[in-house]
Amino acid sequence: MVLLAGPRQCGKTTLAKSLLDDRGEYLNWDITKDRKVIRELAWPKDASLVVLDELHKAPKWKNLLKGIADEFGNNPPVLVTGSARLDALRRSGDALTGRHYFYRLHPIDVAESRRFLPDLTLEMRVRRLLEAGGFPEAFLNPQQAARLRNDRMEIVTREDLRDLSRVSSWRGPADLVELLRERVGKPTNYDSLAQTLGISPPTSKSWVELLEKLYVVFLLPPYSSRLSRSIRKDRRVYFFDCAAAYDESGGAQLENLVACGLLKYTQFRKDAAGESWELFYLRDKEGREVDFVVTRNRRVHWLIEVKASAADIGNSLRYYTAKLQPKEALQLVLNLERAQEKSGIKLLPLGKWLAALPFDVDSD
């Protein structure tokens, strides 16, 4: 059994349907007639593949999946798609442990964008992602990106939150989304959010966690291993829609673009190859900070700083390169004509580096 999770409208249903042949069965819990078939486990048992879409909305859906596995094993194969609650099955350690694979589908990133728009240059595709984001419909129709983003956010806050939680009003979480769009790449201060929204800090924290479960935002923890002077425990917020930030300078969108690419890569290595990759940020009590720390098997693999234009290597990156001894220390620059290397730190064109990330289970 394969579980496929990811943000709303990132392409889960399209991908699932593309895997079906004339003997495949597609069943959507949101469709009344399909719901009856799912409840009764009444699909043809000689199907080549059964897709159960939006199954996380079903009451006791985990028990339903366990029953399918117990009664039918892997015949026919089952692909389950959804968002928030599929993660719960992966973490719960219940009876399906060892009997399913879990994969996460992300929006389009730099590495994948060429498959969608092969006639555009790398620079044009990066600009498109920064302006429209990586959700397929918006990426292919950038003039509609703002409307599509607003529609998606409204559906999530009006419908998905209601299905997932006991939040009585969608207005509060919708306002929270707008506040977070002003705070991309910044620490999540729940007290500040609570004061602005007129709610309690625990409530603001629970709402942010709900948005994280629904793949609206993701939160990066601070890196502190091997550091005696660790930073505060605040996590930094980013959107799965890399163009969602409110920032006229474009710096937040650029940082968010890199964050999305790195998250997608580290989760791919986990889901497809079973490797231990993690993504962090770094800021110490002296104010030294590095945008991203990527670890592999708990050792620092990449230290990454993100810049819009060519600049001298920052003192923080120099300091932590010497202290942590990463496999590679990188300063990724959006507008950079040629690669350089100074004091063991590589200055690289941002788009070219992201486009070359090895999304291949056999790569190292």
pLDDT tens digits along 87-133: 655 555 455 666 788 999 999 999 999 999 999 999 999 999 999 99
| CA distance linking residue 37 with residue 43, whole number of Å | 6
* One-letter-per-residue 3-state SS of the chain: CEEEECCCCCCHHHHHHHCCCCCCEEEECCCHHHHHHHHCCCCCCCCCCEEEECHHHCCCHHHHHHHHHHHHCCCCCEEEEECCCHHHHHHHCCCCCCCCEEEECCCCCHHHHHHHCCCCCHHHHHHHHHHHCCCHHHHHCHHHHHHHHHHHHHHHHHHHHHHHCCCCCCHHHHHHHHHHHCCCCCECCHHHHHHHHCCCHHHHHHHHHHHHHCCCEEEECECCCCCCCCCCCCCEEEECCCCCCCCCCCHHHHHHHHHHHHHHHHHHHHHHHCCCEEEEEEECCCCCEEEEEEEECCEEEEEEEEEEECCCCCHHHHHHHHHHCCCEEEEEEEECCCCEEECCEEEEEHHHHHHCCCCCCCCC
Give per-residue pLDDT as tens, 227-244.
655 555 789 999 999 999
Give per-residue pLDDT as tens, 191-211.
999 999 999 999 999 999 989
Please give the average per-residue pLDDT across 82-88, as a whole number: 68
Percentage of residues of the chain with pLDDT beyond 90: 73
Give per-residue pLDDT as tens, 52-78.
998 888 888 888 888 888 888 888 999
Report how far apart, in Å, the C-alpha atoms of 154 and of each of 147, 285, 289 are: 11, 39, 35
Percentage of residues of the chain with pLDDT beyond 70: 92
Give per-residue pLDDT as tens, 337-364.
889 999 899 999 999 999 999 887 776 6
- Sign of the four-CA dihedral 111, 114, 117, 121: positive
Domains of the chain, CATH where assigned? 2-104 (3.40.50.300), 110-355 (no CATH)
Give per-residue pLDDT as tens, 267-284.
999 999 999 999 999 998
Decide which of 16 and 83 is more confident: 16
* Beta carbons of 20 and 51 less than 8 angstroms apart: yes
How high does pLDDT run on average in the chain?
90
**Alpha carbon 288 to chain centroid distance?**
26
Report how far apart, in Å, the C-alpha atoms of 103 and of each of 9, 25, 86, 283 are: 16, 20, 10, 31
Report the pLDDT value the prediction gives residue 323, as an integer from 0 to 100.
94
Give the list of residues 6+ apart from residue 198 with CB closer than 8 angstroms, or none.
none
* Beta carbons of 309 and 334 less than 8 angstroms apart: yes
- At residue 291, does pLDDT exceed 60? yes
| CA distance linking residue 308 with residue 317, whole number of Å | 16
Report the pLDDT value the prediction gives residue 234, as an integer from 0 to 100.
86
Report the pLDDT value the prediction gives residue 95, as an integer from 0 to 100.
55
User: Rounded to two decimals, what is the model's pTM?
Assistant: 0.93
| CA distance linking residue 42 with residue 70, whole number of Å | 15
- At residue 311, does pLDDT exceed 80? no
| CA distance linking residue 211 with residue 208, whole number of Å | 5
